Amino acid sequence: MTTIQAATYPIHFEGKAYSELSKLITNNNYSSLFVLVDDNTIEYCYPRFIQLLETDKKIEIIQIASGEIHKNLDTCEGVWNVMTELGADRKSLMITLGGGVITDLGGFVASTFKRGIDFVNIPTTLLSMVDASVGGKTGVDLGVLKNQIGVFANPELIVLDPEYLHTVTPREIRSGSAEIIKYGMTHDIRLFNEIKDNPNVNIIDLIHRSIEIKNEVVLEDPKEQGVRKVLNWGHTMGHAVESYFLESEHKEALTHGEAIAIGMICEAYISQKELGFSEEKLADIKKSLQQIFGIAPIIKSDYDAILEYLIHDKKNVGGNINFVLLKEYEDFKLNCTTTQEIIIESLDYYTS
């Protein structure tokens, strides 16, 4: 797979990625390497990584507990302390090896340590390969509020090695595929069609195109002043449902992708009402996404709480809930609003 050039860094694929990383380390003469892992990636991904990396530099492993619940400033403080104890300096390199929590948190830790040291992302889940590790967003959660603290900071390089996908569960792969479907609906419908028409599609083949799309969007609008908001398609409703399921005592947490799939169905409904998106395509989205991701148990008594989360969405401006909507596949409109009635109808539509 060919290298994708982002604004200031390359995204290298497969074997070449490791030789480029080794070259980067030699050329920059880093003083030491810090590899950030979690309980899973230390066991399942680190052995492959260390076998393929060629360097004589000192390597320190920093391990944090896995899971979104640990994506916070306490964990950052722990990592900063360990780096300090181990003598990290401004010429140290941080290598993040993991899913979105590791790449987001590790990028943030690196870009704030001693006012910023270099970092490299090695995403190991589908979600972090096609979304989190690309585009320069780093950060952590503040309580239940996702990604409230962070900075835009670019890695020196991304190592994209699909072999790591063999270390994650089918449910996690499905979760990442929701982001691929998202790129399909907004930029290249082939991606959605390939997943829905062929349950055995090789997801690896769709990763490169997904990253190309994300990279094009981010190159045009790195700080989300305009067109980058399109990456939030399905995410306004999706995040609200995801947060609600996470917080509710009576619900089992959804994966990010499962929540975004619900978001895309609801927002396709809102698109139909507000922008005349095709009814036939709306019905196809609902049928296909519910087939892939299942139907989450949302009932009427959940609606008020979901609306509360929508009202507090960090993407809102001036008190309005902000949506990306579709006029057509590959034809979107940013900064849309709608009525509370239509939002409720969209949840009814999802559950009907």
Stretch that binds ligand GLY, among 13-21, 131-139, 167-175, 276-284 (CB under 6 A): 131-139
Q: Which of 70, 71, 196, 228 binds ligand GLY (CB under 6 A)?
A: 228
- What is the contact mask toward ligand GLY in residues 57 to 86, using x (rule: CB under 6 A)? ------------------------------
Restricting to residues 206-225, name those near ligand GLY by CB under 6 A.
Answer: 224
Sequence-separated (6 or more) residues with CB below 8 Å from residue 101: 38, 66, 67, 68, 70, 71
Instruction: Report how far residue 171's alpha carbon sits from residue 263's, in angstroms, rounded to the nearest whole number.
Output: 18
Counting contacts by CB under 6 A, is residue 104 touching ligand GLY?
no
Among 12, 137, 174, 286, which residue interacts with ligand GLY (rule: CB under 6 A)?
Answer: 137
In angstroms, what is the minimal distance from the CB of 228 to ligand GLY? 5
Closer residue to ligand GLY, CB minimum distance, 137 or 286: 137
Instruction: Tell whether residue 135 is a contact of ligand GLY (CB under 6 A).
Output: yes
327/350 Cα distance (integer angstroms):
19
DSSP string, 74-112: HHHHHHHHHHHHTT--TTEEEEEEESHHHHHHHHHHHHH
**Residue 220: is it exposed, middle or buried by C-beta count within 10 angstroms (0-12/13-18/19+)?**
exposed
- Residue number with CB closer to ligand GLY (228 or 286): 228
**Beta bridge partner(s), residue 94:** 34, 119
- Smaller CB separation from ligand GLY, 137 or 187: 137
At its nearest, how many Å lie between ligand GLY and the CB of residue 9? 15
Name every residue whose Cβ is closer than 8 Å to that of residue 347 and which is 6 or more positions away in sequence.
Answer: 266, 298, 303, 306
Q: Please, what's the largest Cα pairwise distance for the chain?
A: 62
Q: Which stretch binds ligand GLY (CB under 6 A): 60-68, 107-115, 129-137, 255-263?
A: 129-137
Residue closest to ligand GLY when measured from CB atoms = 231
Give me the residue label for tokens 């009907």.
352
Give residues with Cβ within 8 angstroms of 227, minimum separation 6: 217, 220, 221, 334
By CB under 6 A, tell whether 231 contacts ligand GLY. Answer: yes
Contact footprint for ligand GLY (CB under 6 A): 131, 135, 137, 224, 228, 231
